[in-house]
Structure 1
Amino acid sequence: MDAEEFDYIVVGAGSAGCVLASRLSEKPETRVLLLEAGPRDTSPWIHLPIGYGKTMWSNTVNWRFETDPDPNMNGRRIYWPRGKTLGGCSSINGLIYIRGQREDYDHWAALGNTGWRYDDVLPDFIKSEGNERGPIPLHGGDGPLKVSDIGAKHALIEAFIEGAQQIGVPRTDDFNGERQEGAGYFQLNTHKGLRCSTAKAYLTASVKARSNLRIETEAFAAGVVMEGRRAVGVRYRQGGRMKMARTRAEVLLSAGAIQSPQLLQLSGIGPRTLLDARGVPVVHELPGVGENLQDHLQIRLGFECSKPITTNDQLNSWVGQVRLGLEWLLHRSGALAIGINQGGCFMHALRDENGQPVTATPDIQFHVATLSADMAGGKVHPYSGFTMSVCQLRPESRGHIRIRSTDPFEPPEMQPNYLSTDLDRRTAVAAVRAARAIAQTPAMRPYVKREVKPGPDAQTDADLLEFCRNTGATIFHPGGTCRMGDDALAVVDARLRVHGIAGLRVVDCSAMPTLVSGNTNAPAVMMAEKAVDMIRADARTPAPVL
């Protein structure tokens, strides 16, 4: 095997990995290797925001995972797209820039994770952010990750926002401001009509030209090389050959909530019973590796619109398609520059017998699209249609990721256990009812010809729960499988170092103790920015001998 040596080896060039590689290689004396299993991000569908519909099903830039049959979802397998290219999921996601709630991070700190309060992480959000509104309170204007407004107003989104106001949800122009609650337009990770993935933001031409940074694509990591309880390298397959790279300092796993725990388990770090059953020699027993899986379950309500103003109408007409193309070519605007979801809402859905919110902060999120299809990224319907998707922000349900064998190229067992708690089931039903309530407001009625899904026959809580079980899908936010903490089931400490192992960290959404209240890309970038400071600080102190 080849065994070139680097200071840091970053596994996974996704939302976090690109940040790590870029920032660590800023110092010319620091040699960095970035390994990515997928190809370079050359597909035009990656860079065109509406190309989300193509990359969602791509065999080239998408892992196209499926969960195991979920007993809580009537035995269905749920399709889990994950990015497999430079930029990872930030190259194929829905572009939405959301940080989550202040309370999410304060909760992480309250669990014993020092340094992760909202006030601690806000500087890292600001450092990464290049918001077109410029540097304003709570926002950055000069960071590499571009954030843009949706320029043109849309009649459907305006009606939705007004409808939300009519049921008591205020209008907002900033979901990442002092208060998340409200209805409004999302800000997107776009710049001049193009996607701004972390690869585009952090791996610029000048960064790629650094002599101390090596980027290897189509390099499939197979495991961490261990000497005792110290990580000393990574094995990977590239061009049909197995190779090895060695590290002088640390291996940084940024392979995501599915593959980071998979790599740990393949390397002998994980639950002893699982490793013994799979024939993997135990290097260090960590029972929490792959456990604590969380995800936001998306429930999609579909409507036929009474006016021909939807993206369906544009895409189903050659005239509309030409107009869309010209709008983007001439002005870098329109549906091609936005992607799928334009409007959003954070609100309280679940209430007690007195009508009071059960949670102190919003418990559900809406994604509102001016198009409709059978599933996210699917072919649009032949009629004028739009979609209101709802998801519970802080699910209690917990699943797991577990290797099936010693074969690193076999996808692991993925069991989300959606809707496995009473709170999650009640919140899902309440979320559907909240969407219906907005659709029935005076503001929305002129635009709603009929509710297609779940349809008028679904009225009782039991009907709506069955609809959720039969149609619910991921909104692409798995996390928590290598969670941060200091208890027996924690995998990494508050500095993202794997417990009991020297020279190994996990820097991605798998390290989240609990899911943030919203989309997870911006938090992943923040975690990587924060990790770089930790890595540099820790490099100035002697490493422990294990």
Structure 2
Amino acid sequence: MGEAHNSVEAEADYVIVGAGSAGCVLANRLSANGRHRVALLEAGGDDRPLQNLFNPAQAMSTMNIHVPAGFTKMLKDPRVNWNYMTEPDPGSDGRRHFFPRGKVLGGSSSINGILWVRGLPEDYDGWRQRGLTGWGWDEAETYFRRIENQQGEGARRDQQEGPLTISDVPMRHPMLDIMTRAFEEAGAPLANDLNGTTREGVARVRLNAHKGLRVSAAVAYLHPAMKRSNLQVVIHAHATRILFEGRKAVGVEYWKGGRLHQVRARREVILSGGTINSPQLLELSGIGQGERLRAMGIATLVDSPNVGENLQDHYASMIRARLKPGTSSFNAMSRGLPLVGQMLRFALNRSGLLALGGSNLTAFLKSDPALDLPDLQFFASPATVDFEALAKNGAMTMEKLPGMTVGGYVMRPQSKGSIHIRSGDFHDAPSIKPNFLSAEADCRAQVGGLRWARRVMESPALAPYFDHELTPGAALQSDEELLAFARASGSTGYHQTSTCAMGTGPDAVVTAGLKVNGVEGLRVVDASVMPAVVSGNTNAATMMIAEKGADLILAEA
């Protein structure tokens, strides 16, 4: 296994900023032929526990990465997480929202809930209809198939073996079958696979996991490539600005060990910092809305007004219910002797509670039957989170009494926010304004989602187990009351995209070839380039973008 370096040669063909879901894919693909030298800069540390043996706290954090349920411990862990906070948000009662983002090899693919969701084919065909040639579903599916190694009951039988293992939830629990039946009774078709041609229905989630362990972008792509002599991975390297000669990007300046360093790029600089960090680095480097940059004391290289604009995210609200005493749920399994049993089960055969991801069931459904496509995604589990404990210590723990949760979000929101630098200091976290529920259509659909979740809870299948609704509570019935509940209690789905969106005109931040408009030798390849957020979890789409981005780059080389 290769080393993560503390220094880097002063020059490479390609300099990649960010070793997350996209950067790991790029580092592997661009270095694979052996002809190109690649430098990969990551602000965080190594994701492998053995590489952190002499730092016990860091070693424990990285242990959590590889245990799927460990994501519950990393929501606010500063050793692997940027821990961003938004500005007070008018659409959600003036609350500030926590935006976790991975700060470690693997990026957010190392701390997320490991759900593998491609999104709807129409998402990608919609990109193509915007004039973004080469980004339709046919092309996207080709790259998904290149990524995936499908296993288990939900596997496609015509699947080639890619580097990223996709598998079934490694635990059968009676309440999951009952909850699936509840969705069917509420009107949801039963689906085997929501990653193919099926648009609508309820299904068990698919996880990017292998034999009960997380398969992050680092595990699948970066670790195997780190033995190559032409790839150098530099950890704890916080990029501060892109270096230019005229309008040509020629390298990256980064902060490491208390001082500034530089690495030059013979061919290209590639930003893969994600939806928050990529626009931040562009603005720090003089690419952004001119008036804003001048106010920060930054000389404008390219007046690009859409840098940091068009922020989209999924805003989730949920129905939580108390189940009758004695009903089996995950809550009781998560504490005391039952938890010890689950830990032993995981140690022995990599299954059980610790092998679960962020949800167990997912569904694509319509807020209005007249719609052509589903506009809501749901997640459901026989569990309820202790929100007081979450607020107190940042770790997601379950309640003592049995419970269940059905939550969801609008898949293609019209509400848009922004991410911009606060100053010219790279240490300053950017200002994030999500503008949740600022579009009327999103509000209507959000209420429709809560009504859908209630129909599931009130189904005959759950009647023997259902005790009472915890939130929002049976007293709240009108559309106005449910919308007020969504504004007061909802939060991010952790799917921020589109702040360096692809487009066809000169005002677009990047072209369909992912090149930054107005300069040479600079691309953005990550979730920020999505012209619109996909219908579902965003990690799969981000890795697809990186696979295609690598092909685009190599085609020019």
Structure 2 distance, partners of 1:157, 1:512, is 33
2:92 alignment partner in structure 1: 73
Please report how far the alpha carbon of residue 500 of structure 1 lies from its aligned counterpart in structure 2 after TM superposition.
1.4
**In 2 relative to 1, CA 427–139 (structure 1 residues): closer, same or farther, beyond 3 Å?**
farther
**Aligned equivalents of 2:153, 2:361: Cα separation in 1:** 22
Moved over 6 A (4+): none
CA pair 135-535 structure 1, distance change in 2 beyond 3 A:
farther
Partner of 1:542: none
Q: Distance in 2 between matches of 1:134 and 1:143?
A: 17
In the alignment, the residues of structure 1 paired with residue 469 and residue 66 of structure 2 have an alpha-carbon distance, to the nearest angstrom, of 33
After superposition, where does 1:152-171 map in structure 2 within 5 Å? 152-171=171-190
- Secondary structure, counterpart of 1:203 in structure 2: helix
In the alignment, which of 486, 493, 497 is matched to residue 468 of structure 1? 486
Residues 1:30 and 2:30 are matched in the alignment: no
Q: Which amino acid aligns with 1:364?
A: L
Residue equivalent to 2:205: 186
Select 2:375's aligned residue among 363, 367, 370.
363
- Measure how far apart 1:371 and its partner are: 1.8
Q: Which amino acid aligns with 2:293?
A: L
Task: Specify the code of the residue in structure 1 equivalent to 2:355.
Answer: A
Q: Distance in 1 between matches of 2:439 and 2:71?
A: 32
- Cα shift at 1:445: 1.8
Once structures 1 and 2 are overlaid, which stretch shifts more, 128-137 or 471-480? 128-137
Instruction: Provide closer, same or farther for how the CA distance between residues 138 and 298 of structure 1 changes in structure 2, counting only shifts above 3 A.
Output: farther
For 1:360, give the aligned amino acid.
D
Compute the displacement of 1:529 (Å): 0.4
Residue 432 of structure 1, aligned match among 430, 439, 450 = 450
Cα drift, residue 279 of structure 1: 1.3
Displacement of 1:326 in angstroms is 1.8
1:214 corresponds to which residue? 232
Residue 285 (1) aligns with residue 303 (2): yes
Map of 1:62 onto structure 2: 81
1:314 aligned onto 2:333: yes
Superposition deviation, residue 86 in structure 1: 0.4
Check the 8 A contact 1:129/1:139 in 2, yes or no: no
Give the corresponding residue for 1:372.
384
Q: 1:339 aligns with which of 357, 368, 376?
A: 357
What pairs with 1:220-299 in structure 2 (closer than 5 Å)? 220-299=238-317
d(CA) in 1 for partners of 2:429, 2:452? 37
For residues 317 and 218 of structure 2, what CA distance do their matches in structure 1 show?
A: 30
Deviation at 1:137, TM superposition (A): 5.2
Q: Which moved more, 1:274-283 or 1:442-451?
A: 442-451
Superposition deviation, residue 62 in structure 1:
0.5
1:40 aligns with 2:50: no
Q: Distance in 2 between the 1:70 and 1:369 partners?
A: 28
Cα distance, 1:488 vs structure 2: 4.4
Residue equivalent to 1:108:
127
Cα distance, 1:330 vs structure 2: 1.7
Spell out, residue by residue over 1:327-365, the C-alpha distance to the aligned partner (whole angstroms, 9 max, x if none).
Answer: 11222111111133111111001x2xxxx42x3111001
What secondary structure, in the 3-state scheme, does the structure 1 residue paired with 2:318 have?
Answer: strand
What letter corresponds to residue 331 of structure 1 in structure 2?
N
Contact 2:150 2:156 (8 Å CA) reproduced = no
SS of 2:407's equivalent? strand
Q: Which moved more, 1:443-452 or 1:114-123?
A: 443-452
> Percent same amino acid among aligned pairs?
43
Q: Which of 384, 397, 402 is residue 420 of structure 2 equivalent to?
A: 402
Shift of 1:3: 7.2
Check if 1:20 corresponds to 2:26: yes
Give the alignment partner of residue 504 of structure 1, picking from 522, 535, 549: 522
SS for the counterpart of 2:360 is strand
Matched, 1:523 2:546: no
Q: In the alignment, which residue of structure 1 is the partner of 2:53?
A: none
| Residue equivalent to 2:168 | 149
Change in CA separation of 1:110 and 1:139 when aligned onto 2, cut-off 3 Å:
farther
How big is the shift at 1:384?
Answer: 1.0
Deviation at 1:157, TM superposition (A): 1.9
CA contact (8 A) 1:271 1:288 kept: yes
Give the secondary-structure state (helix, strand or coil) at the position aligned to 1:39. coil
Is the CA contact (8 Å cut-off) linking 1:9 and 1:252 kept in structure 2?
A: yes
Letter in 1 for 2:264: R
CA–CA separation in structure 1 for the residues paired with 2:144 and 2:440: 34
Asked whether the equivalents of residues 364 and 393 of structure 1 are also in contact (C-alpha less than 8 Å), the reply is yes
State the AA in 2 paired with 1:403: I
Distance in 1 between the 2:226 and 2:330 partners? 37
* Higher mean displacement: 137-146 or 399-408: 137-146
**AA partner of residue 434 (structure 1):** W
**More divergent stretch after superposition (323-332 vs 214-223):** 323-332
Q: How does 1:452-463 map to 2 (within 5 A)?
A: 452-463=470-481
Comparing 482-491 with 522-531, which one deviates more in the overlay? 482-491
Q: Secondary structure at the match of 2:495?
A: coil
After the TM superposition, which of the residue ranges 125-134 and 237-246 deviates more from structure 2? Answer: 125-134
Q: Secondary structure at the match of 1:432?
A: helix
Give TM-score scaled by structure 1 length. 0.95
One-letter code aligned to 1:415:
K
Structure 1 distance, partners of 2:344, 2:157, is: 36
Q: CA deviation at 1:223?
A: 1.0
**Matched position secondary structure for 1:16:** helix
| Distance across 2 between alignment mates of 1:86 and 1:488 | 34
Q: Deviations over 1:452-499 (max 9, x none)?
A: 111112111111111111111111000000000112431111010111
TM-score (norm 2): 0.93
For residues 445 and 136 of structure 1, what CA distance do their matches in structure 2 show?
33
- Partner residue in 2 for 1:52: 71
Asked if the contact 1:234–1:251 (Cα under 8 Å) also holds between the matched residues in 2, the reply is: yes
State the partner residue of 1:411: 429
Q: Deviations 1:375-429 (Å, cap 9, x if unpaired)?
A: 5752211211221111100000010011110001101110010000110111111
Q: Kindly tell me: are residues 426 and 167 of structure 1, through their superposed partners in 2, closer, same or farther at Cα, counting changes over 3 Å?
A: same
Residues 420-429 or 127-136, more deviating = 127-136
- Per-residue CA deviation, residues 152-211 of structure 1 (Å, 9 max, x unaligned), is 33222212221221122111121112113110100101101100000000022x411110
Shift of 1:298: 1.0
Does the 8 Å contact 1:297/1:473 carry over to 2? Answer: yes
Residue matched to 1:544: none
**Structure-1 residue corresponding to 2:222:** 203
Corresponding residue pairs, total: 531
- 1:535 and 1:139 mapped to 2: Cα distance? 28
Change (3 A) 1:103 1:328: same
Aligned-residue CA RMSD (Å): 1.6
**What is the DSSP-based 3-state SS (H/G/I as helix, E as strand, rest coil) of the residue aligned with 1:341?**
coil
Deviation larger for 490-499 or 167-176: 167-176
